[in-house]
Amino acid sequence: MLYFSPFSSYPLCVLTFLCFFINPSISDPRATEAALICSNTTAQQAERQTFVATFLAAMDTVTPLIATQRYAAVVNGTGNTTVYAFGECMKDLSQNDCNLCFAQCKTQILRCLPFQRLVRGGRLFYDGCYLRYDHYDFFKEALSVVDKTVCGSKDFGGNQTVFNANAIELVRNLRAEAPKNGGFFVGSVSNGNLSVYGLVQCWELVNGSACEKCLANSLSMIGSCLPKEEGRVLNAGCYLRYSTQRFYNNSATDAMGGDEGSNRLAIILAVIFPALALVLIVATAVFFVRMKLVKRRRVINECTLPLYEFTLTFLTSVVFDRINQFHMCRGYMAPEYVVRGKLTDKADVYSFGVLVIEVVCGKRSNSFSQDTFSILQVVPLLTRHVWNLYGTGRVCEAVDPALEGKFQEEEASRVLQIGLLCVQASAELRPSMSMVVKMIADNHEIPQPTQPPFLNSSTADIRPLIPPQTYNSQPRSSNTSGNNMTESTFEPR
C-alpha cells in the first residue's frame, strides 16, 4: 500500500502558479549566426602578441559603446598592429536584446582571431547584430569581394510564382524606403494569402550614396535565393533578409525598452530559478523518502526508526548532498552572480583569478573557511590565505612548496598580485582580460589590489576582507497601399 504525502502536490502547485502569474514572453535577441567570414591576411609571427593585445583592447572599448549607443567604431594600435573594429545591432531590437546578441557575437568572432589562424580580419553576421575587425579603415565601405548571399535550405511549398513576386516587391520597397529612414526599414507584402517579411539595414557609418549602392546590390543578389523560404544578403555595408515568418520587432509590445526589458528578465529569472530549484529538491527528497519507505516495508514489518525521524534524517541527507555539490564549485563563481544573479563581463575575470592562484599555489580552491555555515560564504580558503600573506608582505610563502623555493620571487609575487586583482569584490575594480595580458606579457605596472569579496550571511552584501596590515607592491508607421488583391505594409522603426 502506498501512502501519498501532501507534499506531492506542491511541485504542481508551484509550476501552476508560475504558468499563470509569470508572462513567459521575452524578446528575442536573434543571436543566430548567418555567416562568419575571415580574411586571408595574416599577422607576422613577431607581431602576433601585440596584435592580440590590441584586438582585445579594441573589443573592450566596443562593448560599452554598444551598450550606450547600439553601435561602435574603434581604432586601436599603431602601424601594422592597428585594429579597426565596428559593431552594430539591428535597430528593431531592444537595448537588452542588443546587449545579449553582441555578447554572443563577441565571443564567436574569436574563431577568426590570431590565436588559431593569425588572421587579421574577420566579420560575423548575426540576425540581430554584426561585428567586424580588420587592419584597415573599412567603416564606410559599402561592398567588398567577400560579400555573400545566404539562402535557406527549404523551397517554398505553395504557389512559388506568387511567393517570388511578393518577395521581389518587398525588397524593392525596402530598398526605396530605408534611405529615407536612417538606413533601416522593415515591412511585409501579402498577396494571395501569402505573406513575406523583410528587414534591411545599412550600418551607421555607411550612409547616403554608399547606403543606396549597398542596397541596390542587395536587391540584385537576393533573387538568387528564390524560391527558398528565406534569404539573406550580407554585404560589407548593409544587411538584407526576407522570410516567410515574421522575425522583426516593430512595437513596444514586441521589444520593450532596454531598462524595462532587462528588469523584467531579471524578475522572471529571479522567481523561476529559486522556485524550480526548491521544487526539484523537495520533489526529489519526497520521492526518495517514499521509495525508501516502500522498500523497507517489503523487507521488514517494523521500521527501526519512527517515520518522522527517518523522514527527517533522509531529507536532511538529500538536501545537504545538493548543498555540498554547490559547495564544490562555488569558489569559481563571481560573488555578484552567486548572490544577485548578476552576470557581468567581469565574471570570467574572477574565475580566471581563482585559477591563477590555484596554479601558483599548487592547491585546489574548493576548500573554505570553517568559521561559518552559510552557503553565501563564497571566498575560498585558499584565496583568503593568499590575501593574508599578501597583506603581510609574505605572498611568496603561498607558492607551491613542491618547487622547493626554486623560483623567481618577484615573478611569483607579480602573478599572485594579478590573481588577487582579478578576484576583487567589486566587478568594476577587476581588470579587463586585455589589461591582464599586458600585465603578464609586457611587464605592465600592476595596480594595488583591494580585498577579495566577503559575503555577510545576514545582509548578503559584498564586503571586503580587512587585512592585518597593508602592503605596497611596485610594479523602428505603417502605410497601406494596393487593392483587394495585394496589401503592402511597411513599418519604420
At 111, which CATH number?
A: 3.30.430.20
Q: Which residues of 14-52 are buried (b: 16+ CB within 10 A; e: fewer)?
A: beeebeeeeeeeebbbbbeebeebbbeeebeeebeebbb
The answer as to whether 272 is a domain residue is no
Q: Which residue has the higher pLDDT, 300 or 424?
A: 424
Q: Are residues 73 and 119 in the same domain?
A: yes
- Residue 323 to residue 327: CA distance in whole angstroms: 6
Q: What is the dihedral of CA 237, 96, 124, 493, to 10 degrees?
A: -30
Return the C-alpha cell found at 285.
527528497
pLDDT at position 302, please? 44
Q: Which CATH number characterizes residue 435's domain?
A: 1.10.510.10
Residue that is written with C-alpha cell 543566430 in the block: 32
The answer as to whether 16 is a domain residue is no
Q: Are residues 83 and 169 in the same domain?
A: no
Q: Are residues 92 and 57 in the same domain?
A: yes
> 103, 134, 165 — which closes off a domain?
134
- Residue 95 to residue 101: CA distance in whole angstroms: 10
The answer as to whether 273 is a domain residue is no
pLDDT tens digits for 362-413?
Answer: 887 655 444 433 333 445 677 778 888 888 888 898 898 888 888 888 888 8
The answer as to whether 125 is a domain residue is yes
Q: Which residues of 371-399 are buried (b: 16+ CB within 10 A; e: fewer)?
A: eeeeebbbbbbbbbbbbbbbbeeebbebb
Q: Are residues 341 and 460 in the same domain?
A: yes
The answer as to whether 310 is a domain residue is no
Q: Are residues 127 and 163 in the same domain?
A: no
The answer as to whether 177 is a domain residue is yes
Residue that is written with C-alpha cell 518587398 in the block: 170
pLDDT at position 173, please? 96
Q: Are residues 341 and 445 in the same domain?
A: yes
Range of the domain at 379: 335-464
pLDDT at position 15, please? 45
The answer as to whether 340 is a domain residue is yes
Question: For residue 482, which of 98, 190, 92 has the smallest C-alpha distance?
Answer: 190
Mean predicted lDDT score pLDDT of the chain: 75
Helix (H) or strand (E) holding 123: strand 122-126
CB 196 within 8 A of CB 166: yes
Model confidence at 179, pLDDT cuts 50, 70, 90, reads: very high
Q: Are residues 244 and 354 in the same domain?
A: no
Left (φ > 0), alpha (ψ -120 to 50) or beta: where does 274 sit?
alpha
Q: Which residue has the higher pLDDT, 90 or 41?
A: 90
> 107, 134, 161 — which closes off a domain?
134
Q: Are residues 62 and 154 in the same domain?
A: no
pLDDT surpasses 70 at 242: yes
Q: Are residues 177 and 113 in the same domain?
A: no
Q: Are residues 51 and 153 in the same domain?
A: no
CB 456 within 8 A of CB 333: no
Q: Can you give the pTM of this predicted structure?
A: 0.53
Q: Are residues 432 and 341 in the same domain?
A: yes
Q: Are residues 168 and 115 in the same domain?
A: no
CB atoms within 10 A of CB 277: 12
pLDDT tens digits for 335-359?
Answer: 777 666 677 778 888 888 888 888 8
pLDDT tens digits for 74-115?
Answer: 999 999 899 999 999 999 999 999 999 998 898 888 888 755
Highest mean pLDDT among 19-28, 32-41, 122-131, 321-330: 122-131
pLDDT at position 125, please? 98
> Which of 48-57, 165-174, 406-415, 435-444 shows the lowest mean pLDDT across its residues?
435-444
The answer as to whether 23 is a domain residue is no
Mean pLDDT, residues 190-212 taken together: 95
pLDDT surpasses 70 at 27: no
pLDDT surpasses 60 at 216: yes
Question: Coil, helix or strand for 408?
Answer: coil
Question: Coil, helix or strand for 368?
Answer: strand
Domain count for the chain, please give it: 3
pLDDT surpasses 80 at 333: no
